A and B are shown apart, each in its own frame.
Chain A
Amino acid sequence: MSFTDREWWTLVHGMVLGAFFLLAFAGGLAELYSLKPALLTRVGVQSRMRRVKVGVVAMAVAAWLTVITGTWIVYPWYREDVASSPRSTLLADPSTAEWHEFGMEWKEHIAWISPILATAVAFIVVYYGTNLIRHDRVRRTAIGLFVLAFVIAGIAGAFGAFITKVAPVI
């Protein structure tokens, strides 16, 4: 019972960083949502702000690490010009070719939008700090971009999971 180096990296890219990303998103979203004057006090706001900052920065870091490991470590193995590579395997069979031609082609590109959006949100939260509590418009904008970053990562992650199921990197 063991994993190859390639399988380990696929696990790190998809599961370890994916779980970290999900956790950071859930925490960051909950804290961002609750940054309302009616739910905060002078004492509580300090620890609440700290948690928001940790959540959004952690999600941005997780998103960057995911796309960097995916593009620069796992993807070269996926697209190797040999008959046994996942890309070759998928394209060899007309019934699975669409997993590459649509799924992988979309995933490998769209994934990079997520860390860009997540970084913008992290900047907003770190720069604006406690001002977010009273400036509802900015807070809602940050939440909107945060959710968009998550949805885009979700599309890429879902296709990654499906493609790995059909043609894993071994």
Chain B
Amino acid sequence: MARTERTEPTSEPDDLPPVTDKPEGPISAAIIAAGIGAAALGLFTTLAEASATVKDWLQWNDRVGPLSGKTLLAVAVWLAAWAILHVTLRNRPFETRRALIITLVLLVLGVIGTFPTFFQAFTSE
């Protein structure tokens, strides 16, 4: 017999499946790691502009240019941060609200670091 989805609203909590209480730690770890990845991208973008040595070093692929190193390194930092934070917070009740605030600050830093008017102010001669 085919199951059909009931779409009418209900406010009966007992009608829902039981909740298996999982800690918020792993969620917070994923959220903060995303912020760290964004901030890392902003940092590498600005550093590459400020230093010709860094810019040359980040040119991991000649066709793509320094963008190859900046993005791959930012992804590596993000994954490493996620792994470390996941292990650290996996059994902790770390509130997602705190994680979100930390991440929003890191995201703003990341956006500023990738904003041309900002990073071009550091252009090396």
Contacts and interface: CB of A to CB of B under 8 A. Distances in A.
Interface of A: 37-48, 67, 71-72, 75-76, 79, 101-102, 105-106, 108-110, 112-113, 116-117, 119-120, 123-124, 127-128, 130-131, 133-135, 137-138, 141, 144-145, 148, 152
B41 A148 contact: no
Majority secondary structure, B binding face: helix
B31 interface: yes
22 contacts: A38-B10, A39-B9, A40-B16, A41-B10, A47-B5, A71-B64, A71-B68, A71-B71, A76-B63, A101-B120, A110-B111, A113-B41, A113-B110, A113-B114, A116-B38, A117-B34, A119-B34, A120-B33, A134-B13, A138-B96, A141-B31, A145-B103
A131 B20 contact: yes
B5 A44 contact: yes
A38 B15 CA distance: 10
B60 to A, nearest CB: 11
A141 B96 contact: yes
Nearest to B34: A120
Contacts of B9: 38-39
A45 B6 CA distance: 9
Contact of A106 (B3, B21, B115): B115
B100 A141 contact: yes
B13 A124 contact: no
Contacts, number: 129
Majority secondary structure, A binding face: helix
Contacts of B24: 135, 138
A118 B86 CA distance: 17
A79 B33 contact: no
In order of increasing CB-CB distance, the 4 nearest A-B pairs are: A109-B114, A76-B63, A120-B34, A105-B116
Nearest to B32: A120
Nearest to A144: B100
Contacts of B17: 42, 45-46, 130
B58 interface: no
A145 B74 CA distance: 19
A108 B67 contact: yes
Nearest to A117: B34
Given A131-B19, A131-B22, A43 B64 contact: no
B111 A128 contact: no
